[in-house]
Structure 1
Amino acid sequence: MIVWGKKSKMALLGSEGSKPCPVCEKERPFNLMLQYTVHHIWYVFKWVSGKQYGTACEVCQRGDKLDAKAVESKLQKSPIPFGDRWGWAFLAGLIAIAAVFGALDDSSRSTSRETYLAAPRAGDRYIVNLASLLQAPQSKYMYGVLRVRAVHPDSVEFDAPTFFYSSASGPSKDMRAGKLDEPGYFSEKPIVLSRDQIARIHQEHAIHSIDRF
């Protein structure tokens, strides 16, 4: 669940001296103030969505708005804390890192898939959208594990799964959990695919991955 929100904050930036206050109708000390709004995701990834500088009477808190650029040109550093200004950058960095690792994983999986397709071995496990092999599939996505039983010159014989998933994560979890060795996971009757059929479903991107143990 994504937790997000916003909060208004106030910063006191120092005294602006004394001058007549039109509200109090007296000479009053004034302070330089900054009011800004911070949005956040999970209270950590923050960014500033608005800010307003102004002077305010110490007594009635009324005053005048000031131009942000004019005020900030005289400040030595930003009065807004670093975490409020740049917290979003950490989220952007995490997304970028995840994207890089995802790309590397896809590249590695693609390289392995091409290698194993060129020289299949008994025991190789293909995660395949088996809907691509059926004339009238029950669903557009029917992912399951095809385990190589035997390799022939023009075809490959597979153990066929007895049930399917709507995404490739289902068969992947089954492999990690060791469920493929459980009785009944595969049908007793194998299926045989020609090399041309395997090439076709590969071109259709129906083969998600191939694992070799």
Structure 2
Amino acid sequence: MFIHWGSHALSRHLGPDGERYCTTCGVEREHYLQVDYRVHYIMILCRWATEIQYASYCTYCERRIPVYPDYVAAELGGSQVPWLDRYGWLACIIFSILINIWDHILAPLVAAGAPP
């Protein structure tokens, strides 16, 4: 059986963040919110996110200003990392429990009731 694992960096654009002073440009410019994170995975389904960072980017020079996660949660409501990327590891554990239940409890019952 081939087991696939790895990790990669992802970014999600979260929309405009209004005008802020950009120290690189020296003027007020439009900014947008973005979340950057790394996803580790085993067999694609079992995933978990690490290194979650929220930031506001200048639309002109792309200067990154770190933003507190509480600010983003208040503005947009909750975590902006997709559910599967946050709780995919839980789906993997549930799937392995179901396989064990089938293998140790249900499969012998089915085999015992089957005609020879």
Task: State whether TM-score is above 0.5.
Answer: yes
Cα distance in structure 1, aligned partners of 2:3 and 2:74: 37
After TM superposition, give the deviation of residue 12 of structure 1 in Å: 1.4
After TM superposition, give the deviation of residue 76 of structure 1 in Å: 2.4
After TM superposition, give the deviation of residue 77 of structure 1 in Å: 4.2
Secondary structure of the 2:24 match is coil
Question: Aligned pair 1:12/2:13, yes or no?
Answer: yes
Structure 2 equivalent of residue 31 of structure 1: 32
- Equivalences, count: 110
Structure 2 equivalent of residue 177 of structure 1: none
| 1:37-66 deviation per Cα after TM superposition (whole angstroms, max 9, x unaligned) | 111112232211220011111122113212
Structure 1 equivalent of residue 87 of structure 2: 86
After TM superposition, give the deviation of residue 25 of structure 1 in Å: 1.6
Structure 1 equivalent of residue 47 of structure 2: 46
Q: Computing the radius of gyration over CA atoms, which structure comes out larger, 1 or 2?
A: 1
- Root mean square deviation of aligned Cα: 2.4
Higher-strand-fraction structure:
2
Secondary structure of the 1:73 match is helix
Question: Aligned pair 1:76/2:77, yes or no?
Answer: yes
| 1:81-118 deviation per Cα after TM superposition (whole angstroms, max 9, x unaligned) | 22222222221111111222333279x59xx9xxxxxx
- Deviates further, 76-85 or 44-53: 76-85
| 1:142-164 deviation per Cα after TM superposition (whole angstroms, max 9, x unaligned) | xxxxxxxxxxxxxxxxxxxxxxx
TM-score between both structures, scaled by the size of structure 1: 0.45
Cα distance in structure 1, aligned partners of 2:8 and 2:81: 13
Secondary structure of the 2:75 match is coil
Structure 2, gaps ≥5 residues long:
none
After TM superposition, give the deviation of residue 71 of structure 1 in Å: 2.3
Cα distance in structure 1, aligned partners of 2:103 and 2:74: 43
State the AA in 2 paired with 1:49: T
TM-score between both structures, scaled by the size of structure 2: 0.77
> Percent same amino acid at aligned positions?
26
Question: Aligned pair 1:66/2:89, yes or no?
Answer: no
The structure with higher relative contact order (CA 8 Å, sep 6+) is: 2
Q: How does 1:111-126 map to 2 (within 5 A)?
A: none
State the AA in 1 paired with 2:32: N
